[in-house]
Chain A
Amino acid sequence: MLKPEAMQKNLTFLLHIHPKKVPRASIRYTYTFGLGGLTVLLILLQIFTGILLKFVYLPSPAKAYDSILFLQNHILFGQYVRNIHHLDGELLIVLALLHMLRVFFTEAFHPPIRSGNWILGICMFLLIMFSNFTGYLMPWDQLSYWAVTVVTNMFSYIPLIGPHITVFIRGGADVTGNTLMNFFNFHTAIIPLTLLILMIFHFWKVRKAGGVAPPRTRQEEEKGLVPVMPDLIVKEVAVGLIALAVVFILAIFLDAPLRERANPAFSPNPVKAPWYFIGIQEMLMHFHPFVGAIVIPLFLLGFLFYLPWLHYPQNNAGFWFSSLKGRQAAIISGIIAFILTPLLIVADEYLIHFNRWFPSLPSILSEGLFPVLLYGFLFYLYLLYLRKKYRPNVNETVQAVFAFFLITYTVLSLTGLFFRGPGMILMWPWQI
């Protein structure tokens, strides 16, 4: 058994990722939950299983589905490796999202030190999403074919260039072998490479910022620095190994789905987007596609990118929700969103029919602008209430509003997942 000092010598190079000493408070497990590190681990596992799968998989419409069948039925551990890869991909979205939420809710995005990493983080998160989505097409079954058809079609609602973008992504007018080739190349080369480069950049910037933003509330109890080796490293390794074991065990029981072979002439009923896009799909039920698939997502993305440069009166990095008041405001906002969103969904389904009330108006107004105005008005009322009740500063408002949108998107996703049956009709989960 190597002594810690000897190990440290061997690991010196790898340890460049951490400083020599870190604040005791910031390595508390319940502060970062090890989320960033776990994301890295899962990405490495994803590369490993992905390379294994590439030994069997054939990216052409005629052969893709059969190669998956072959993988599952004739390759030793074939199904298992596919399960791990599938599960790992979905877990990656969850972990990366949680990691970003931790960063956001502890305000670790302030310029000049941490803003760059916030931007990098968003980019890497988008890459993980795209990686999942491009991988979704690989089995070439009904699920993947129609989900990709629907999602790539969303781009065609961008004015002027939209249809060209769709044709470009698909490599033709429809989802065909060209699409599969494009997606395969993105999935197995372009996205992983870009992601790895951004990751290295990200670590370097974390290191330069002096590690994670240390939590403030614990400062008094846990003063001082501790050596990274062994205090932090041992924790990291332990968490990583447990996570790995959990993934491996879960993958035994959770089979990656495989439906019937893709059939361009029949959509299954219902067609649902993968769960990480299902919130957008739910928005499409209520808004003109240009608004639901383009304007709103781009607007929110712009808001996220611009976030670090709003005029904050304070830099409260390390405080959960910026302050105690911020926490209360965020919780109330979450509750409001949790109640308001389902009400609006039901109202839109049964009561609000702008298109029938104004049949002569173009649908971009009746299905696009009017619902947005209605929602904007309600959102404004919510902001007024927040103002009156808490008098929050910019820091706290941003925390609260973000919580509001987070819960809204969650509710939209849950609705799409569990409350939409055949024909996308609203119903209770047990009726489906």
Chain B
Amino acid sequence: MSKKISHSKINPPPEKEEHAPKITTDTSRRSFFRKIWGWVALAAGIELAGLSIPFIGSGRKKQTKEKSGNFTAIAQVWDIPEGSVLPYRSGRLYICHLKDGGFLAVSIKCTHLGCSVEWDEKKKEFLCPCHHSMFSLNGEVINPPATRALNIYPLKIEEGVIKVNLENPIQRKHYNKSQETYA
């Protein structure tokens, strides 16, 4: 059964090389025109590319909003107990009140693949439902697969009012104390 059948017999013969019939009456005028057509084809190609690439590109730029440096008032300092968070859903962030009294505006977006993290009040950590990353109150990774701390937003406190610039998320590798703002 396992005896091999000679294979060459069953396979169709290898493809014949197909050649376009050679034009033997090639004159210099013909080859000149052929070259011209080649250039015209190239020009047509460039035209189409030149049309479509800016077309797609410019539409994209217009539809992304222009960034302003505006800060939005979100909460008051005494709204948030120490060691806890206040979710601000419409801005997709949490205001975190750290143990040492500092405040951070931490993005809701998991740095792994972008799901929204949830605050677990009992365990005092953020949990991502997608691949089970965990983050501490200051956004630092406790459990992979996420590889860097949650993004933060510029935050300032004026007369007890917490204001956040919602348009400029800041990427960071790790948490450090200098990122905090104090009341």
Interface locus among B8-16, B22-30, B77-85 = B8-16
A284 contacts B115, CB within 8 Å? no
Complex interface bits, B99-140 against A, C-beta within 8 A gives 1, otherwise 0: 000000000100011111010000000011111100000000
In angstroms, how far is the closest chain B Cβ from the Cβ of A274? 14
Chain B contact-residue range equals: 20 to 34
B89 contacts A265, CB within 8 Å? yes
Separation of A195 and B163 alpha carbons in the complex (Å) = 51
A112 contacts B15, CB within 8 Å? yes
Main secondary structure of the interface of B (DSSP, over half): loop
Known A-B contacts A113-B14, A318-B10, A367-B147; A149 and B129 likewise in contact (beta carbons under 8 Å): no
Known A-B contacts A149-B114, A266-B116, A267-B129; A178 and B7 likewise in contact (beta carbons under 8 Å): no
In angstroms, how far is the closest chain A Cβ from the Cβ of B132? 4
Nearest residue, chain B, Cβ from A293: B113
Is B177 interfacial (CB 8 A cutoff)? Answer: no
A424 contacts B115, CB within 8 Å? no
A315 contact set on B, CB distance < 8 A: 7, 11
Nearest residue, chain A, Cβ from B129: A269
A173 contact set on B, CB distance < 8 A: 64
Contact of A424 among B1, B5, B60, B130 (CB under 8 A): B130
Contact of A363 among B1, B113, B131, B144 (CB under 8 A): B144
Is B31 interfacial (CB 8 A cutoff)? Answer: no
Known A-B contacts A216-B5, A271-B129, A323-B2; A265 and B115 likewise in contact (beta carbons under 8 Å): no
Residues 144 to 173 of chain A near chain B (Cβ within 8 Å)? 146, 149-150, 153-154, 171-173
In angstroms, how far is the closest chain A Cβ from the Cβ of B53? 12
Is B92 interfacial (CB 8 A cutoff)? Answer: yes
Known A-B contacts A149-B114, A154-B113, A323-B2; A424 and B15 likewise in contact (beta carbons under 8 Å): no
Separation of A387 and B116 alpha carbons in the complex (Å) = 48
Main secondary structure of the interface of A (DSSP, over half): loop
B129 contact set on A, CB distance < 8 A: 267-271, 422-424
Complex interface bits, A311-325 against B, C-beta within 8 A gives 1, otherwise 0: 000111110000111
Is A289 interfacial (CB 8 A cutoff)? Answer: yes
Nearest residue, chain A, Cβ from B115: A267
A-B contact pairs, 16 of them (CB 8 A): A112-B15, A113-B12, A113-B14, A154-B113, A210-B12, A265-B89, A265-B92, A266-B89, A267-B129, A267-B130, A269-B129, A271-B129, A288-B145, A315-B11, A367-B144, A422-B129
Q: List A residues at the B interface (Cβ < 8 Å).
A: 112-113, 146, 149-150, 153-154, 171-173, 177-178, 208-210, 214, 216-217, 219, 264-271, 281, 284-285, 287-289, 292, 314-318, 323-325, 355, 363-364, 367, 422-425
Q: List B residues at the A interface (Cβ < 8 Å).
A: 1-2, 4-5, 7, 10-12, 14-15, 60, 63-64, 89-90, 92, 108, 112-116, 118, 127-132, 144-145, 147
- 6 additional contacts, CB 8 Å, given A270-B129, A325-B2, A363-B144? A113-B15, A150-B114, A171-B63, A287-B145, A317-B7, A424-B132
